């Protein structure tokens, strides 16, 4: 294992029809949207495990006991962890705080960015090793697909307008305001809206080397 002092946290939801990829339900239907989510999550897990970079944890909601998560534990070399209650910011903050008590670096990624590369994860770890306070992977929709740190910075998650195009810029501004050095990874595209899905299926440049 190349970076045993780091850990990857994949934030995920149980693929229950009607509860994941809700913005795609009008186009695909609830069952197909949930199936797409499992495809994207499986891809994220395989990317995180590629090259045996570091231990990988699947942070689960609403329960790590869901059959899909138990199946993931059997199929992949990863650990299941339970997300806290609360909004996305609180859940991410709690997960990072917990893991950083156990290891030197924590890199949290979303479950549904098909353009994530294992090089993004390795670069994040390398930059944290080099002294960056925070590493952020900006998403094309204005959010981020990855955030990494070596110390817990709860103010990066408090009262954030999650799901809006301002999340990445607001996070970077909070880093500046608190004197943190932030390294930015390449922008990546995820699959949230019908337009995203059409581009994903068509193999547009933002989704190169990915397929539904």
Report, as an integer, the average pLDDT of 20-45: 96
Predicted confidence at residue 212, as pLDDT, reads 43
Closest by Cα among 141, 112, 143 to 37: 112
pTM for this model (two decimals): 0.94
CA atoms of 12 and 63, how far apart (whole Å): 10
Cβ within 8 Å of residue 152, ≥6 positions away: 93, 96, 97, 100
pLDDT, mean over the chain: 94
CA atoms of 78 and 48, how far apart (whole Å): 10
pLDDT, tens only, 122-149:
999 999 999 999 999 999 999 999 999 9
What domains does the chain contain, in order, with CATH numbers? Answer: 6-207 (3.90.550.10)
């Amino acid at each position: 294992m190349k970076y045993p002092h780091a850990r990857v946290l994949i934030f995920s939801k149980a693929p229950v029809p009607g509860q994941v990829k809700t913005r795609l339900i009008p186009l695909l239907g609830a069952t197909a949207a949930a199936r797409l989510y499992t495809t994207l999550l499986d891809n994220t897990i395989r990317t995180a495990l590629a090259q045996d970079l570091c231990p990988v944890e699947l942070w689960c909601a609403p329960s790590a006991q869901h059959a899909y998560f138990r199946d993931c534990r059997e199929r992949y070399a990863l650990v299941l962890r339970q997300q806290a209650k609360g909004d996305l910011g609180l859940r991410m903050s709690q997960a990072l705080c917990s893991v950083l008590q156990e290891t030197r670096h924590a890199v949290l990624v979303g479950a549904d960015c098909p353009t994530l590369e294992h090089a993004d994860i390795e670069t994040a770890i390398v930059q944290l090793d080099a002294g960056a306070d925070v590493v952020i992977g900006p998403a094309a929709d204005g959010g981020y697909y990855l955030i990494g740190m070596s110390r817990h910075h709860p103010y990066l998650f408090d009262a954030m307008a999650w799901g809006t195009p301002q999340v990445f810029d607001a996070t970077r501004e909070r880093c500046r305001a608190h004197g943190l050095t932030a390294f930015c990874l390449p922008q990546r595209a995820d699959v949230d809206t019908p337009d995203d899905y059409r581009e994903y299926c068509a193999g547009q440049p933002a989704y190169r080397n990915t397929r539904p």
